[in-house]
Amino acid sequence: MDTVFVGLSGGVDSAVSAYLLKKQGYKVVGAFIKGWEPDFLPCTGVRDRLEAMRVAAHLGIPFVTYDLSEEYKRGVVDYFVSEYKLGRTPNPDVMCNRVIKFGAFWEKAKADGADMIATGHYAMKKELPTSNFQLLVSKDKEKDQTYFLWTLTKDDLAHSLFPVGGLEKTAVRSLALEANLPNASRADSQGLCFLGHVDMHAFLKRYLPTEIGVVRDENGKSIGNHDGIWFYTLGQRHGFGSLGGERLYVVAKDRMKNELTVSTSSLGENAEKIFALTNESSVDGSPLVGKYLGRYRYRQTLLSVEIHDGQASFDTPQRIASGQSLVVYDQQGEIMHGGAIIE
């Protein structure tokens, strides 16, 4: 039977994944990935690793730790800081999956004898008669994480397993209790991959300078100041010192003038229907062309979108920040085909 290295995060989903794979007869190894943990953040790595070790001991499986902190700092943190500095809005979790969980982790595990890796992601893999693979939306639609997996290819899927993808979250919890897993009642983790809850504004201030600039309304009137356009993303809500605490949304960023434009509408007056794409990727390796359902935010309602010649066209105007991930699905919203980054 194949040897599967399961990425044990300390959470319930990965623990149940290891439990299910062992029940299915795989030779399972628990692997904890040590990410980058700056001393100015209340990271939970030590506690997470302890929980992962307890799960491995309870299941009677070998346990290894992979220190991927340098890879994480270089491939994820440095990437999204540089993107923010350029005025874009990257998704660090997408990059974390690509560079760490399905990149460096797989390479480490393969070198140690793994035939496959498994994670606790809510997604499903389907093997086709052509020896190709599809990535399907998980059974639990509220927990589905295919949005963060759009950079995966059929080659990645060939050696990847998602044991809890075909289960509802409630069933995963029940299995954890049934198996007496030591972390069965642990709360779900939130926030950035490996970093947890992070005040992004405060985090970026560690790396990017304060540059005071003007905030204007859509008529060009100055209504306040900001401390650096890279600390704000399109669609972000902020008061900016407006009288009466009026809800204002960032609708434009001018890097040359170091100015923000805000509106009482999250779309503003200049929302667009057509967006240029870069870094396109598809699961099967074919170009993304045609009509899809898509989203550019996690858990966003799927929208009709058509892709041709490196451009995405929406039926209605959208306000999408440069750097965001557009992820596309089939017309039923069940098969994740791939994605791209908004230029």
- Beta-sheet strand order (sheet of 160-161): 63-67, 27-34, 3-7, 116-118, 160-161
Q: Which helix (H) or strand (E) holds 116?
A: strand 116-118
pLDDT for 170: 96
* Residue 311 and residue 274 in contact, taking contact as beta carbons nearer than 8 Å: yes
Give per-residue pLDDT as tens, 306-321: 999 999 999 999 989 9
Q: How many CB atoms lie within 10 A of CB 31?
A: 27
Catalytic status, residue 193: yes
Is 284 buried (19+), middle (13-18) or exposed (0-12) by CB count in 10 A? middle
Catalytic choice (12, 59, 96, 192): 96
Domains of the chain, first to last: 3-120+163-178 (3.40.50.620), 209-263 (2.30.30.280), 272-342 (2.40.30.10)
Give per-residue pLDDT as tens, 275-303: 999 999 999 999 999 999 999 999 999 99
Catalytic choice (193, 229, 305, 307): 193
**SS3 call for 203:** helix
Instruction: Pick out the chain residues at pLDDT < 70.
Output: 189-197, 240-245, 269-270
Our CA dihedral for 29, 193, 103, 340, rounded to 10 degrees, sits at 140
Give per-residue pLDDT as tens, 141-162: 999 999 999 999 999 999 999 9
Predicted model pTM = 0.92
Q: Which helix (H) or strand (E) holds 248?
A: strand 248-254
Token pair 């959208």 is at which residue?
318
Catalytic status, residue 96: yes
**SS3 call for 32:** strand
